[in-house]
Amino acid sequence: MAKDPICGMVIEKSTALTAERNGRTYYFCSPTCLRTFESPETEIKAMRRRVTIALTGVVAIAILRAGAFIALAAGATIVTWAPIPALPWFTWGRWLFILVTPVQFIGGWSFYKGSWTAIRTRNINMDFLIALGTTTAYVYSVFVVFFPRVLPVSIEERDVYFEVSAVIIAFVLLGKYMEEVIKTRSSAAVRKLMDLRPATAHVVRDGAEVEIPAESIMVDEVLVVRPGEKIATDATVVEGRSAVDESMLTGESMPVEKAEGGSVIGGTLNQTGMLRVRATRIGSDTALAQIVRLVEEAQSSTAQVQRLADQVVQYFVPAVVGIAVLAFGGWWIAGEFPKGLLAFVAVLIIACPCALGIATPAALMVGVGKAADAGILIRGAEILERAQKITTVVFDKTGTLTRGEPAVTDVVPLAGVSEQDLLRFAAAVEAGSEHPLARAIVQAATHRGLDVPAVSGFEAIAGHGIRGSGDGHAILMGNRRLLTREGIDPAAAEKTMAGLEVQGKTAMLLAVDGVLAGIIAVADTIKPEAREAIDALRQDRIGIVMLSGDNPRTAQAIAAELGIERVIAEVLPADKAEVIRGMQRTGEVVAMVGDGVNDAPALATADIGIAIGSGSDVAKETGGIILIKDDVRDVVTSIRLSRATMLKIKQNLFWALAYNSAAIPVAAIGLLNPIIAAAAMALSSLSVIVNSALLKRKKVA
């Protein structure tokens, strides 16, 4: 089974109409839904024409009826006040027949076309119910006017229901038209993203600059991007310097400085200087294409609560036809044929499960689109459902709450080693490591102009430190556990270490040739927005935990500055996932926030993984929520927006189910005029769309 992304109808994949977009197959219940998906603006124009025809017919009927009332009040009849000689032949029913027939077959043509597809594919849809109901009223009225003797009713009961048919078609078309207009505006996020990529690019080929279609760019080709032009594909800067506006992808308003060696994202706007860039990713591999694909997949995903509703809809439509037939038969047996006919039409019209089908897609379209505008990618409805249940958010410290750019703050020599030698030896063994702390030590040595010796026998000891040989010495650098394991007593450095750690610094011990040589302390700065994010989560009554590989004193000092009470220190990278599992075993629903690559196991283990600062590497992320910007406040925004979107989905489903459950019995017992049923059905779908669109205005930051 699949769901039509336009109307939400559940359909069989084998018989549905299909369309391909960005390597994904979409399934449709009718040609109208397919056309709306492929060309929403064109379909809206066609729908506007059909609405105009239908409303013109209904207005003409209203004018004719008003004229008849005025004439009757004056003592005339429709025959005496109409000016044409052949008028006596034209009874009231024939006038209505002339006015309603274009509405029925031109205005309502899309319903007949969709019905034929429904019959052919065995997927009974809304078009089928509308067409069956209005055609029944229309055909019965034709028989009353032209073939009255074949009907099993007395002359007194032979009313015509042309108006019922026309007004139903007009109401439903108007409702669908308004629905599509709102949905088109609400789903602007994907179209806006798709429109970012320029149509052409300037490429250097055979030493000359040529303009080519953007889809013809090849990897490693050099592109020339002038100020004011969009960058056509993901690339690396090979020449030039400029400020690039990435706000359309990241939501970050400030331009980003780009220079030689920097990476640029396709679809972003070059502002100040000319750049030469080398293409690194093209087509569906670009960050823009990945983001579009993620947003589309999220918008077409299905929440668990919606899947239950979909199962109801599968049996709902055939059941409605059965109820309509039973209502008709019951009234006919009771001698009330006209009333049975009206009940039949009213049940078919009122029971259209449109609101039920679009309850989730409508809210997802707005919520996921709003998130994408802010540089937040939510992978789907399941993530939204989990987000509303989150009790705890776990932050990895480095690069999430702190900048991830530490600097050396203290060099404390011991055992007669000079400060310069201590830093030289430390930089020698750290030169082979990619850890942020290692880079800080190497940069400190470089800035001081020290001669760093080459190292052999380099070995990284996970969770402890590193070792190597340089300048004829065996060098060991790491935490207390490493030195203790190697038989070196760190007690002489304990007091100094403790003092540094209380200040929130990471203090590392260095041993040379088996002797404790000194301490090097490195500190990372807390992101200025981190405290604001923590306070907002606490305001939302969500528990906060900080994970750190640092020793307890350092971790506690940073946590205290941020106002975090729960801290788990000295956690090895491989153990983060187990910490998450431990929390889950105690009943906590956990969101893990961290680096999408380094923290992948923990992100995958958590109920929701939130990967922060992903930039252009969207495809690598294992998180259910991906934050393109490196702003920890987006964690709060993503959770609040997820909860708000899920609340809208539940409101929509409740309204749709309540409406159908209450209206069908009322229609079946003949207490609901089909015209009112049509208006109620159109308003129910429209209310779901409007309720979802209100999400666009909700403040969640």
235 confidence band (pLDDT: 50, 70, 90): very high
Beta strand residue intervals within 249-406, DSSP E: 256-258, 263-264, 269-270, 275-281, 376-378, 392-396
Percent of the chain past pLDDT 70, that is, above it, reads 83
Lowest mean pLDDT among 37-41, 43-47, 81-85, 369-373: 81-85
Residues 157 and 102: their CA atoms lie apart, in Å, by: 26
The proportion of the chain whose per-residue pLDDT surpasses 90, expressed as a percent, equals: 14
The catalytic position among 4, 245, 396, 595 is: 396
pLDDT digits (tens, 9 = 90+) for 315-350: 777 888 888 889 889 988 888 877 888 888 788 777
pLDDT band at 545 (very low <50, low <70, confident <90, very high): very high
Average pLDDT of 381-407? 84
Q: How far apart are CA 406 and CA 447, in angstroms?
A: 15
pLDDT per residue as tens digits for the range 503-543: 888 889 999 888 899 999 988 788 889 999 999 999 999 99
Say what the pLDDT of residue 582 is. 92
Question: Residue 91: what pLDDT?
Answer: 65
pLDDT of 191 above 70: no
pLDDT score for 88: 44
Q: Of the ranges 191-200, 255-264, 390-399, 512-521, which one carries the lowest mean pLDDT score?
A: 191-200
pLDDT of 361 reads: 74
Q: How far apart are CA 296 and CA 294, in angstroms?
A: 6
Determine whether 396 is an active site residue. yes
pLDDT of residue 80: 46
Mean per-residue pLDDT, 54-74: 74
- What integer best gives the mean pLDDT of the chain? 80
pLDDT for the residue 81: 44
Q: How confident is the model at residue 86 (pLDDT cuts 50, 70, 90)?
A: very low
Q: Which of 141-145, 158-162, 567-571 has the lowest mean pLDDT?
A: 158-162
Pairwise pLDDT comparison (86 vs 4), residue with the higher score: 4
Q: How far is CA 440 from CA 363, 436, 443, 447, 525, in A?
A: 46, 6, 5, 11, 13
Mean pLDDT, range 364-381, rounded to an integer:
80
Set out the domains of the chain in order of their start, with CATH numbers.
2-190+296-366+650-697 (no CATH), 199-232+234-281 (2.70.150.10), 372-402+526-638 (3.40.50.1000), 407-523 (3.40.1110.10)
- Secondary structure (DSSP) of 547-600: E-SS-HHHHHHHHHHHT--EEE-S--GGGHHHHHHHHHHTT--EEEEE-TTTTH
Mean pLDDT, residues 595-616:
73
Q: Which residue has the higher pLDDT, 79 or 460?
A: 460
Dist CA 570 CA 580 (whole Å) = 15
In the prediction, which pLDDT does 695 show?
Answer: 86
More confident residue, 698 or 294: 698
Least confident of 346-355, 571-580, 642-651: 346-355
pLDDT for the residue numbered 222: 92
pLDDT in tens, 257-275: 888 888 888 888 888 888 9
Q: Output the pLDDT for position 202.
A: 92
Q: Is the pLDDT of residue 156 over 90?
A: no
**Which of 587, 598, 611, 698 has the alpha carbon at shortest distance from 648?**
698
Name the nearest CA neighbour of 628 among 260, 371, 396.
371
Least confident of 202-211, 222-231, 386-395, 549-558: 549-558
Closest CA to 408 of 499, 523, 485: 523
Tell me the per-residue pLDDT of 647-684, one tens digit each, with 9 for 90 and over: 888 888 888 778 777 888 888 888 877 777 777 777 77
pLDDT for the residue 132: 81
Q: What's the confidence (pLDDT) of residue 278? A: 94
